[in-house]
Structure 1
Amino acid sequence: MQAIKQFFKTHPHAWWGFYLPVYLAAFFIIEHFITDNYWATQTVLDSYVPFCEWFIFPYVSWSPLLVVLGVYLILKDGEGFRRYMWYIMVTFTTAVVFCILIPNGQDLRPAVMEHHNLAAWLVEYTYSIDTNTNVFPSVHVVGAIGAAWAVKKTPSLERRTLLRGATAILALLICLSTLFIKQHAVLDVIGGLGLALAVGLPLYHHGIIRRSRPAMEQE
């Protein structure tokens, strides 16, 4: 217990991470209550996107990516973690509020898996724990773009060109995976991209939250 207290004393920005259980609680509550009578987000564009179960692997890499990046920023870049959490809090909360105000979902999931393999099993498991509702805007898209942006803007990673490139490619694959495993419609991805840009540009490109404590980067 003393070690935990000492950690938060030396890394006070870590408290921002407690937004995540609040978000998860809100998300699973609306998942429970919003199950039908929703705005269906699929359009004719989705008929041109084939189903491919192998995209489940970049899809499930989303949570580890966000968590690992968050832990790194907590330990190495306190100011960067605050900005990362501002992005997460604003975008994720906006997505939840939108889903409450305008219940939405998509009807694109295949009724039967054509293939029987590990990827198909993972898709079916994902379907079982995550409904086809509350999909607009895509939080997977929002989070993936935010992670890539945070890595790009982290000073201690400036010379890690390979890592930054790999993160950007993974973020792109995650965005595409939402379409190919039929977890999201094209419109959901466009909405996620729009939300990511609306919040990310002021935070990361225009520097609305500036680095006022450079020493924190070496924590």
Structure 2
Amino acid sequence: MRLSDLWRPIRAEMKYLLWLPLYLLSFVILERLPISGYWATQTPWDQAIPFCEWFVIPYCLWYPLLVAVGLYLLARDREGFRRYMVFLSLTFFLSELIWFLIPNGQDLRPLVMPRDNLLTRWIAGLYAIDTNTNVFPSVHVVGSVGAAWAVWNCRRLRSRRALRWAVAVLAVLICLSTLFIKQHACLDVLSGLVLSLAVGLLVYHRNLYRAFRPLAAPD
């Protein structure tokens, strides 16, 4: 089989990635928009959650998780890849719309790190490149839920129970990590879960997904 024969079906799915540059561009613009004031999402519950730098590890595993799930689905389950892309694009853009309509942020980041080690320096670097605004809902949460949902929905992985549960546990750890490294407040996580559930039912429910079928390339 020629390389072009392998590339042709994958190339047909590339249109499902066209949303990503637009999302990243709009994210950068929103992060740099001047905000005179924002709704602070923290609650007394957040004050009871201790800062724990070890959670920066699962927090940063969010990036390879989303990419790995996407690449696997693109290679082995193109229908699953389409649903995954539709889920991520809808949740990410809806999150940006909420950020634009309701400027929000959280004031939970420690002014001085409680300890000085490699992990706390890592978190300080994250703070420097990612503002404390545009947090409600958390895209870390919706992305993690989307990756786990895609893996559990994948027909080829239905016999791989250990892998499916590992992804689910990692998704839970990523959601928790946003709280323990003070990147998000409880309301940010809760709103991300609600948004994920609403869009997930739309995308992964067979009948509702028919609305997106005209976009789908043939397998």
- C-alpha spacing 1:6/1:193, structure 2 compared with 1 (3 Å): same
Aligned equivalents of 1:10, 1:132: Cα separation in 2: 41
How many residue pairs match? The answer is 213
Structure 2 CA distance for partners of 1:185 and 1:24, relative to 1, 3 Å: same
TM-score by length of 1: 0.91
> How far off is 1:14 after superposition?
2.5
- TM-score, with structure 2 as normaliser: 0.91
User: Is contact 1:34–1:103 with CA below 8 Å preserved after alignment?
Assistant: no
* 1:101-139, Cα deviation, whole Å (9 max, x unpaired): 111000000011111112111111111111000000011
Q: Does 1:10 align with 2:37?
A: no
Listed one character per residue, the Cα deviations across residues 10-35 of structure 1 (whole Å, up to 9, x for unaligned) are 22112211211211111111001145
Is residue 124 of structure 2 the alignment partner of residue 139 of structure 1?
no
- Counterpart of 2:66 in 1: which secondary structure? helix
| 2:83 paired with 1:121 | no
The answer to whether the 8 Å contact 1:34/1:134 transfers is no
Are 1:28 and 2:34 counterparts? no
Letter in 1 for 2:164: R
Partner residue, 2:166: 166
Counterpart Cα distance in 2 of 1:36 and 1:166? 42
Residue 74 of structure 1 contacts residue 81 of structure 1 at CA under 8 Å; is this kept in 2? Answer: yes
- Gaps in structure 1 of 5+ consecutive residues: none
Q: RMSD of aligned C-alpha atoms?
A: 2.2
User: Structure 2: how far apart are the matches of 1:94 and 1:34?
Assistant: 21
Find the counterpart in structure 1 of residue 175 from structure 2.
Answer: 175
Q: Distance in 1 between matches of 2:44 and 2:159?
A: 43
Residue aligning to 1:195: 195
Q: Cα offset for 1:36?
A: 4.4
For residue 205 of structure 1, report the CA deviation from its aligned partner: 4.4
1:88 aligns with 88
